[in-house]
Amino acid sequence: MPPEPAPRAPTALTDPDTGTIIFIASCRPPLPDGDYRLTVTQSASNAAKGPPPGATFDESYVNIRRFVVRGERFAVQQAEIGGVFPPSASTGEYGNVLPHVVIDRATLPWERSAGDAADSSWLALLLFDESDPVPPTLTIQVGDLTPAAFAHAEGATPTASTLPATTLSYPNLTLGYGEFPWQQCNAIDIPVALFRAVAPGVVDLPWLSHARTITPADPTRMGLASEPGVPVETSVVLGNRMPQPNARCTVHLVSLENMAPLLATGDSYTSVPIVLPGGGDADFVRLVSLANWSYRSVDPKQSFTEILKGLDAADDFRVLGIANASTDPVVANALAMGHVPLDHQTRQGSRTVSWYRGPLIPFAPPGTIVVPQPNAANDGLATADQALRYDPDTGMIDLTYAAAWEIGRLLALQDSEFARALYDWKRSNTQAVVEAFERGVLEQQMGAALGIDAVGLAAPQPMQHAIASFIARRLAPHLTGKGTER
């Protein structure tokens, strides 16, 4: 017996080549969010020299139209979050990975501004460790971002905001068109010291968002719906903090709209005072959280490659069968070929154990159908029991094909539309047979009279031709009285 080849482990591929990715510094919308006023002025005057009295005029016509460009501000649709990394709720070797979020709308990061000189993205990723601790996510109303009292429902009398006295939120926040203080949003309250430590500095802001245009070579490989060659436009927001090893961490996608004055300045990250509107230092900073997810960073065995390399490689991955060391050749063969012994409750009510094998088998099947056929005429299976196989040597029954037949039947019965369509089709077959029979009888009975013989059952034409000629040549003369025959 030749020595068994060593199982081939999955190997890392060195040359991935799929389509193109274009990195774009920023993808700014043509019109930023806001209220717009479009004024059209038309002036008309009589420009002729020395116009007669009464013919001079000099008038202006002004037309003003207002419109609003609305964008997301206090919440983003979850469908726009195209993906996060590290994956949500995953555990992996992420110690050196900056978290990022892919947003399916390429312009979203630049639809508002952090308020710095570079007009940077208003979105930022803040990573929190268990030991920070992670600020709890609060569900608040938009009005709770300001200290003033506000209406908690449409038309309600303003009542107090829940913003604590020592918490600073977005300074000078004003609501735009279509934004109401009673809208719900998520927020986190971050202690000022933590905010200073982990929030990006003003100098970092321009680096942390960019856009990507991806043109996959073959979108079906990724299960994407888009056509080959059609680019997928996304924007990416990067975090600026590595997770603590062996700890659970949570990442919040926060809005830093007009918060640049509160961020640390310069390459040495000098803190700036964070002062409440009424004076005095703030203890907390409240930020809108647009999305959040958490993951766990552990040992380096959890990366994509390491997970896949660690896949169970038993028997060349080939065998969808149970590895076994049985010395009984029947048992060893059956298990290796994918058969599984399962409890079997027989029709008589007794219990036994029978073989079953699924449709996914570890070897190349013969090209022909080998389901046991009840007779040589290939009549198909009328009942599940016809597909039972019995091994007289071991006394074991093989239920494989009987089970397949039965599940097919149950699936068909479950779908009433299919059952009806199948019934209609079978009835149309029966009707075709009956019609063919009727034609045959008619031809037999009338064929002699019509002067045709040996007409096929399936072809209607000879019969019709014969009738037509009978009417024309032999019947018509009697009916019209013009006949000369006989």
Partner 1 sequence: MTRLLVDRATHAAALSSMLGDRAAIVAATSDIDPPIQLAQWLGQLGKLYGVPYRYLIPHDLLLPDESIRFFQLDESWIYALIEGACSIGHASTTQATQHAATSHKLHAVAQAPKLVDGAAVPITGFVLRSQVVPGWPKLEIVPFDANGTELTLIRRDLLSPSILFYLVRGTIDHVVLREPAIGLHSGIDIDGEKRLRYVTVPTAAPAGTRAGDQLANVAAAPGFRDGGNRVLAVDALASAIETLLVANTANTAPDGQPLPFTAAEFGLEMVEGTQAVTCQSGTGS
* Size of the chain in residues: 486
Number of residues forming the site for partner 1 (CB under 8 A): 144
Give Cα 181 distance to the centre of its chain.
33
Alpha carbon separation from 366 to 361, 363, 370 (Å, rounded): 12, 9, 8
Which of 156, 165, 275, 441 touches partner 1 (CB under 8 A)? 441
Please, which of residues 59-118 interact with partner 1 by CB under 8 A?
Answer: 82-83, 85-87, 90-92, 95-98, 100, 102
The reply on whether position 151 binds partner 1 by CB under 8 A is: no
Give the Cα separation of 261 and 188 in Å (integer).
19
From the list 279, 277, 292, the residue with the least C-alpha distance to 161 is 277
The answer to whether 387 and 371 have CB atoms below 8 angstroms apart is yes
The reply on whether position 451 binds partner 1 by CB under 8 A is: no
Please, which of residues 172-191 interact with partner 1 by CB under 8 A?
Answer: none
The answer to whether 277 and 178 have CB atoms below 8 angstroms apart is no
- Tokens describing residue 217: 């070579």
- Tokens describing residue 474: 């032999």
Which of 58, 312, 343, 485 touches partner 1 (CB under 8 A)? 312
Which of 138, 276, 361, 446 touches partner 1 (CB under 8 A)? 361
Which of 35, 299, 316, 328 touches partner 1 (CB under 8 A)? 316
- Tokens describing residue 173: 């926040």
Nearest CB to partner 1, comparing residues 180 and 304: 304
Residue 254 CB, nearest distance to partner 1 (Å)?
Answer: 15
Nearest CB to partner 1, comparing residues 75 and 457: 457
Give the Cα separation of 326 and 330 in Å (integer).
9
The reply on whether position 389 binds partner 1 by CB under 8 A is: no
Please, which of residues 220-239 interact with partner 1 by CB under 8 A?
Answer: 220-224, 232, 234, 236, 238
Binding mask 268-307 for partner 1 (x = CB under 8 A): -x------------------------------x-xxxx-x
Candidates 51-59, 205-213, 250-258, 344-352 — which segment interacts with partner 1 by CB under 8 A? 205-213
The residues, any chain, with a CB within 8 Å of residue 171's CB and separated by 6 or more, are 258, 261, 277
The reply on whether position 216 binds partner 1 by CB under 8 A is: yes
The reply on whether position 390 binds partner 1 by CB under 8 A is: no
Whether omega for the bond prior to residue 231 falls within 30 degrees of 0, making it cis, is no
Residue 213 CB, nearest distance to partner 1 (Å)?
Answer: 11
The reply on whether position 244 binds partner 1 by CB under 8 A is: yes
Which of 16, 178, 329, 392 touches partner 1 (CB under 8 A)? 16
DSSP reduced 3-state for 121: strand
DSSP reduced 3-state for 41: strand
What are the φ and ψ backbone dihedral angles of 22, each rounded to 5 degrees?
-110, 125
The reply on whether position 250 binds partner 1 by CB under 8 A is: no
Residue 19 CB, nearest distance to partner 1 (Å)?
Answer: 7
The answer to whether 100 and 82 have CB atoms below 8 angstroms apart is no
